[in-house]
Protein backbone atom coordinates (compact mmCIF):
# COMPACT_ATOMS: atom_id res chain seq x y z
CA UNK A 1 0.00 0.00 0.00
CA UNK A 2 0.94 3.67 -0.18
CA UNK A 3 1.08 6.22 2.62
CA UNK A 4 0.83 9.85 1.58
CA UNK A 5 1.57 12.85 3.76
CA UNK A 6 2.75 16.40 3.23
CA UNK A 7 5.01 18.55 5.40
CA UNK A 8 6.05 22.19 5.15
CA UNK A 9 8.40 22.39 8.09
CA UNK A 10 11.49 20.53 6.86
CA UNK A 11 14.30 21.68 4.57
CA UNK A 12 15.59 19.96 1.46
CA UNK A 13 18.63 18.82 3.43
CA UNK A 14 16.39 16.93 5.87
CA UNK A 15 14.58 14.96 3.15
CA UNK A 16 17.30 12.29 2.53
CA UNK A 17 17.58 11.75 6.29
CA UNK A 18 13.83 11.13 6.59
CA UNK A 19 13.85 8.78 3.58
CA UNK A 20 16.62 6.73 5.17
CA UNK A 21 14.76 6.53 8.50
CA UNK A 22 11.55 5.32 6.82
CA UNK A 23 13.42 2.71 4.77
CA UNK A 24 14.99 1.35 7.96
CA UNK A 25 11.54 1.06 9.54
CA UNK A 26 10.26 -1.14 6.70
CA UNK A 27 9.35 1.07 3.74
CA UNK A 28 10.13 -0.52 0.36
CA UNK A 29 10.45 2.81 -1.42
CA UNK A 30 9.95 6.50 -0.73
CA UNK A 31 9.20 9.20 -3.32
CA UNK A 32 9.20 12.91 -2.52
CA UNK A 33 7.48 15.57 -4.63
CA UNK A 34 8.21 19.27 -4.03
CA UNK A 35 5.07 21.39 -4.22
CA UNK A 36 3.50 24.74 -3.29
CA UNK A 37 0.49 25.10 -0.98
CA UNK A 38 -2.54 27.32 -1.58
CA UNK A 39 -0.88 30.07 0.48
CA UNK A 40 2.30 29.91 -1.60
CA UNK A 41 4.32 28.04 0.99
CA UNK A 42 6.77 25.35 -0.12
CA UNK A 43 6.11 21.79 1.04
CA UNK A 44 7.09 18.18 0.34
CA UNK A 45 4.62 15.43 -0.55
CA UNK A 46 5.83 12.01 0.52
CA UNK A 47 4.64 8.75 -1.09
CA UNK A 48 5.76 5.75 0.93
CA UNK A 49 5.43 2.26 -0.56
CA UNK A 50 5.31 -0.42 2.13
CA UNK A 51 3.80 -3.81 3.03
CA UNK A 52 0.65 -3.81 5.18
CA UNK A 53 2.57 -5.31 8.09
CA UNK A 54 4.81 -2.23 8.40
CA UNK A 55 2.10 0.46 8.45
CA UNK A 56 2.16 0.99 12.22
CA UNK A 57 5.94 1.27 12.61
CA UNK A 58 6.43 3.50 9.56
CA UNK A 59 3.47 5.75 10.43
CA UNK A 60 4.78 6.25 13.97
CA UNK A 61 8.18 7.22 12.61
CA UNK A 62 6.59 9.74 10.23
CA UNK A 63 4.75 11.45 13.10
CA UNK A 64 7.85 11.49 15.33
CA UNK A 65 10.08 13.02 12.65
CA UNK A 66 7.66 15.49 11.03
CA UNK A 67 4.91 16.23 13.54
CA UNK A 68 2.26 15.71 10.87
CA UNK A 69 -1.26 15.19 12.20
CA UNK A 70 -2.63 13.20 9.25
CA UNK A 71 -1.50 10.42 6.92
CA UNK A 72 -3.54 9.20 3.97
CA UNK A 73 -3.63 5.46 3.23
CA UNK A 74 -3.98 4.79 -0.49
CA UNK A 75 -5.14 1.34 -1.56
CA UNK A 76 -3.50 0.73 -4.90
CA UNK A 77 -3.17 -2.13 -7.36
CA UNK A 78 0.46 -2.81 -8.02
CA UNK A 79 1.46 -4.45 -11.30
CA UNK A 80 4.71 -6.30 -10.61
CA UNK A 81 6.91 -8.12 -13.10
CA UNK A 82 9.19 -11.10 -12.75
CA UNK A 83 12.89 -10.48 -13.07
CA UNK A 84 16.24 -12.16 -12.65
CA UNK A 85 19.80 -10.93 -12.39
CA UNK A 86 22.45 -12.12 -14.83
CA UNK A 87 26.20 -11.67 -14.65
CA UNK A 88 27.52 -10.48 -18.00
CA UNK A 89 30.82 -9.32 -19.44
CA UNK A 90 31.00 -6.30 -21.71
CA UNK A 91 33.91 -4.70 -23.52
CA UNK A 92 34.26 -0.90 -23.50
CA UNK A 93 37.22 0.63 -25.36
CA UNK A 94 39.14 -2.68 -25.41
CA UNK A 95 38.70 -3.28 -21.67
CA UNK A 96 36.39 -5.94 -20.24
CA UNK A 97 34.03 -5.33 -17.33
CA UNK A 98 31.78 -7.65 -15.33
CA UNK A 99 28.40 -6.32 -14.28
CA UNK A 100 24.89 -7.34 -13.32
CA UNK A 101 21.82 -6.70 -15.44
CA UNK A 102 18.20 -7.15 -14.50
CA UNK A 103 16.18 -9.13 -17.06
CA UNK A 104 12.46 -8.35 -16.81
CA UNK A 105 9.68 -10.78 -17.83
CA UNK A 106 5.89 -10.81 -17.78
CA UNK A 107 3.71 -13.51 -16.17
CA UNK A 108 4.23 -15.75 -19.22
CA UNK A 109 8.01 -15.45 -18.76
CA UNK A 110 8.24 -13.47 -22.00
CA UNK A 111 11.22 -11.12 -22.18
CA UNK A 112 10.24 -7.45 -21.83
CA UNK A 113 13.35 -5.42 -21.10
CA UNK A 114 16.74 -5.33 -19.44
CA UNK A 115 18.34 -2.80 -17.14
CA UNK A 116 21.97 -2.43 -16.13
CA UNK A 117 22.42 -1.99 -12.39
CA UNK A 118 23.25 1.55 -11.29
CA UNK A 119 26.18 0.70 -8.97
CA UNK A 120 27.92 -1.31 -11.70
CA UNK A 121 27.37 1.48 -14.22
CA UNK A 122 28.79 3.99 -11.75
CA UNK A 123 31.98 1.95 -11.29
CA UNK A 124 32.52 1.65 -15.04
CA UNK A 125 31.72 5.35 -15.60
CA UNK A 126 34.41 6.25 -13.07
CA UNK A 127 37.00 4.52 -15.27
CA UNK A 128 35.62 5.42 -18.71
CA UNK A 129 35.38 9.19 -18.84
CA UNK A 130 34.88 9.67 -22.59
CA UNK A 131 31.14 8.92 -22.36
CA UNK A 132 28.39 10.51 -20.32
CA UNK A 133 26.58 8.26 -17.85
CA UNK A 134 23.53 7.96 -20.14
CA UNK A 135 25.70 7.24 -23.19
CA UNK A 136 27.53 4.52 -21.26
CA UNK A 137 24.21 3.03 -20.09
CA UNK A 138 22.92 2.89 -23.67
CA UNK A 139 26.16 1.31 -24.96
CA UNK A 140 26.24 -1.35 -22.23
CA UNK A 141 22.56 -2.28 -22.49
CA UNK A 142 22.91 -2.53 -26.28
CA UNK A 143 25.92 -4.84 -25.89
CA UNK A 144 24.07 -6.99 -23.35
CA UNK A 145 21.04 -7.22 -25.65
CA UNK A 146 23.26 -8.54 -28.46
CA UNK A 147 24.79 -11.10 -26.09
CA UNK A 148 21.36 -12.31 -24.98
CA UNK A 149 20.16 -12.65 -28.59
CA UNK A 150 23.35 -14.52 -29.51
CA UNK A 151 23.01 -16.87 -26.52
CA UNK A 152 19.32 -17.55 -27.22
CA UNK A 153 20.05 -18.41 -30.86
CA UNK A 154 22.88 -20.74 -29.82
CA UNK A 155 20.71 -22.38 -27.16
CA UNK A 156 17.85 -22.91 -29.63
CA UNK A 157 20.28 -24.51 -32.09
CA UNK A 158 21.85 -26.64 -29.35
CA UNK A 159 18.48 -27.98 -28.18
CA UNK A 160 17.27 -28.69 -31.71
CA UNK A 161 20.50 -30.55 -32.50
CA UNK A 162 20.29 -32.47 -29.21
CA UNK A 163 16.73 -33.58 -29.94
CA UNK A 164 17.55 -34.38 -33.58
CA UNK A 165 20.50 -36.56 -32.55
CA UNK A 166 18.25 -38.43 -30.11
CA UNK A 167 15.61 -39.10 -32.75
CA UNK A 168 18.33 -40.18 -35.21
CA UNK A 169 19.70 -42.71 -32.71
CA UNK A 170 16.20 -44.14 -32.31
CA UNK A 171 16.11 -44.59 -36.10
CA UNK A 172 19.65 -46.01 -36.47
CA UNK A 173 21.09 -42.93 -38.16
CA UNK A 174 23.86 -40.46 -37.40
CA UNK A 175 23.83 -36.73 -38.02
CA UNK A 176 26.24 -36.94 -41.02
CA UNK A 177 24.07 -39.64 -42.66
CA UNK A 178 20.95 -37.56 -42.02
CA UNK A 179 22.60 -34.52 -43.65
CA UNK A 180 23.60 -36.57 -46.68
CA UNK A 181 19.98 -37.71 -47.08
CA UNK A 182 18.84 -34.11 -46.73
CA UNK A 183 21.23 -32.74 -49.37
CA UNK A 184 20.40 -35.55 -51.78
CA UNK A 185 16.63 -35.08 -51.51
CA UNK A 186 16.92 -31.30 -52.03
CA UNK A 187 19.04 -31.57 -55.20
CA UNK A 188 18.81 -35.15 -56.47
CA UNK A 189 20.30 -36.63 -58.43
CA UNK A 190 23.69 -35.52 -57.12
CA UNK A 191 27.26 -36.70 -57.46
CA UNK A 192 29.95 -37.13 -54.82
CA UNK A 193 31.58 -33.79 -55.68
CA UNK A 194 28.36 -31.98 -54.84
CA UNK A 195 28.11 -33.72 -51.45
CA UNK A 196 31.79 -33.01 -50.77
CA UNK A 197 31.20 -29.28 -51.31
CA UNK A 198 28.17 -29.30 -49.02
CA UNK A 199 29.48 -31.53 -46.22
CA UNK A 200 33.06 -30.15 -46.01
CA UNK A 201 34.57 -33.49 -45.02
CA UNK A 202 37.26 -35.78 -46.38
CA UNK A 203 36.29 -37.76 -49.50
CA UNK A 204 37.18 -41.05 -47.82
CA UNK A 205 34.87 -40.29 -44.85
CA UNK A 206 32.04 -39.23 -47.15
CA UNK A 207 32.43 -42.41 -49.20
CA UNK A 208 32.03 -44.55 -46.06
CA UNK A 209 28.83 -42.65 -45.15
CA UNK A 210 27.32 -43.06 -48.63
CA UNK A 211 28.31 -46.74 -48.75
CA UNK A 212 26.46 -47.32 -45.46
CA UNK A 213 23.34 -45.57 -46.77
CA UNK A 214 23.47 -47.67 -49.95
CA UNK A 215 23.88 -50.88 -47.90
CA UNK A 216 20.81 -49.89 -45.83
CA UNK A 217 18.84 -49.34 -49.05
CA UNK A 218 18.24 -45.67 -48.25
CA UNK A 219 20.25 -44.39 -51.23
CA UNK A 220 20.70 -45.84 -54.69
CA UNK A 221 23.85 -45.35 -56.73
CA UNK A 222 23.94 -45.57 -60.53
CA UNK A 223 25.86 -44.43 -63.59
CA UNK A 224 24.78 -41.32 -65.46
CA UNK A 225 23.24 -42.61 -68.72
CA UNK A 226 24.68 -39.60 -70.58
CA UNK A 227 28.18 -39.95 -69.14
CA UNK A 228 28.93 -43.29 -67.52
CA UNK A 229 32.05 -41.89 -65.86
CA UNK A 230 29.76 -39.97 -63.46
CA UNK A 231 28.12 -41.78 -60.53
CA UNK A 232 24.81 -40.31 -59.36
CA UNK A 233 22.96 -40.67 -56.07
CA UNK A 234 19.24 -40.60 -55.33
CA UNK A 235 17.06 -41.52 -52.37
CA UNK A 236 15.23 -44.81 -52.57
CA UNK A 237 11.56 -44.97 -51.65
CA UNK A 238 12.64 -46.37 -48.29
CA UNK A 239 15.13 -43.50 -47.84
CA UNK A 240 12.50 -40.90 -48.74
CA UNK A 241 10.05 -42.31 -46.20
CA UNK A 242 12.77 -42.44 -43.53
CA UNK A 243 13.73 -38.80 -44.12
CA UNK A 244 10.11 -37.61 -44.14
CA UNK A 245 9.50 -39.40 -40.85
CA UNK A 246 12.54 -37.77 -39.25
CA UNK A 247 11.56 -34.31 -40.48
CA UNK A 248 8.03 -34.79 -39.15
CA UNK A 249 9.43 -35.77 -35.74
CA UNK A 250 11.61 -32.63 -35.67
CA UNK A 251 8.77 -30.36 -36.78
CA UNK A 252 6.42 -31.83 -34.15
CA UNK A 253 9.04 -31.09 -31.50
CA UNK A 254 9.39 -27.50 -32.73
CA UNK A 255 5.61 -27.12 -32.83
CA UNK A 256 5.45 -28.03 -29.13
CA UNK A 257 8.08 -25.37 -28.41
CA UNK A 258 5.89 -22.76 -30.15
CA UNK A 259 2.69 -23.75 -28.32
CA UNK A 260 2.54 -20.49 -26.33
CA UNK A 261 2.62 -18.31 -29.47
CA UNK A 262 -0.61 -17.37 -31.22
CA UNK A 263 -0.85 -17.14 -35.02
CA UNK A 264 0.08 -13.46 -35.18
CA UNK A 265 3.13 -14.02 -32.97
CA UNK A 266 4.23 -16.93 -35.16
CA UNK A 267 3.89 -14.73 -38.24
CA UNK A 268 5.94 -12.03 -36.55
CA UNK A 269 8.58 -14.61 -35.58
CA UNK A 270 8.76 -15.79 -39.20
CA UNK A 271 9.26 -12.21 -40.36
CA UNK A 272 11.93 -11.46 -37.71
CA UNK A 273 13.89 -14.65 -38.35
CA UNK A 274 13.61 -14.09 -42.11
CA UNK A 275 14.99 -10.57 -41.73
CA UNK A 276 17.94 -11.79 -39.64
CA UNK A 277 18.64 -14.60 -42.12
CA UNK A 278 18.49 -12.22 -45.09
CA UNK A 279 20.91 -9.81 -43.40
CA UNK A 280 23.33 -12.64 -42.57
CA UNK A 281 23.31 -13.87 -46.16
CA UNK A 282 23.91 -10.33 -47.46
CA UNK A 283 26.85 -9.88 -45.06
CA UNK A 284 28.43 -13.14 -46.21
CA UNK A 285 27.92 -12.25 -49.88
CA UNK A 286 29.59 -8.91 -49.27
CA UNK A 287 32.63 -10.67 -47.80
CA UNK A 288 32.17 -9.57 -44.17
CA UNK A 289 35.50 -9.43 -42.34
CA UNK A 290 35.76 -12.47 -40.05
CA UNK A 291 38.02 -10.58 -37.63
CA UNK A 292 35.68 -7.66 -36.97
Q: How far apart are CA 86 and CA 249, in angstroms?
A: 34
pLDDT confidence of 31, banded at 50, 70, 90? very high
- The 8-class DSSP code of residue 181 comes to H
* CATH of segment(s) 171-246: 1.10.10.10
Helix (H) / strand (E) containing 121: helix 118-127
Detail the DSSP E strand segments found in the chain: 2-7, 29-36, 42-49, 72-74, 82-92, 95-105, 111-116, 219-224, 227-235
Task: Tell me the per-residue pLDDT of 47-63, one tens digit each, with 9 for 90 and over.
Answer: 999 988 999 999 999 99
Q: Is the pLDDT of residue 33 over 90?
A: yes
Can you state the angle between helices 192-199 and 203-215, rounded to 10 degrees? 120
Task: Tell me the per-residue pLDDT of 210-236, one tens digit each, with 9 for 90 and over.
Answer: 999 999 999 998 888 888 888 889 999
Q: How far apart are CA 207 and CA 235, in angstroms?
A: 16
What is the second-level CATH architecture of the domain 2-74?
A: 2-Layer Sandwich (3.30)
Task: Tell me the per-residue pLDDT of 123-155, one tens digit each, with 9 for 90 and over.
Answer: 888 888 788 888 888 888 888 888 888 888 999
Can you state the angle between helices 175-187 and 237-257, rounded to 10 degrees? 110
Domain boundaries, the chain: 2-74, 82-147, 171-246, 261-292
pLDDT confidence of 292, banded at 50, 70, 90? low
Burial pattern 16-41, b for ≥16 Cβ within 10 A else e, equals eebbebbeebbbeebebeeeeeeeee
Q: How far apart are CA 242 and CA 233, in angstroms?
A: 16
Task: Tell me the per-residue pLDDT of 169-188, one tens digit each, with 9 for 90 and over.
Answer: 888 889 999 999 999 998 88
* CATH of segment(s) 82-147: 3.10.20.300
Q: How far apart are CA 132 and CA 138, in angstroms?
A: 10
Is pTM beyond 0.75 here? Answer: no
Cα separation values, 110 from 39, 114, 260, 265, 282, Å: 50, 12, 10, 12, 30
Amino acid sequence: MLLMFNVDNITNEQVPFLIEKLMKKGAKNVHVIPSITKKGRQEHIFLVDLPDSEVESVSSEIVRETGTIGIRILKEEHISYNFEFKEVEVEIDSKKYDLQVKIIYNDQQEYLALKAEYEDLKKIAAEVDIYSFNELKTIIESEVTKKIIDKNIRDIHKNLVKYTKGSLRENNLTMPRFLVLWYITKHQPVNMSFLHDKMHMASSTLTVIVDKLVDNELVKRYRNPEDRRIVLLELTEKGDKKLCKLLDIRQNFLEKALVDLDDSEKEELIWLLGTVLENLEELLKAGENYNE
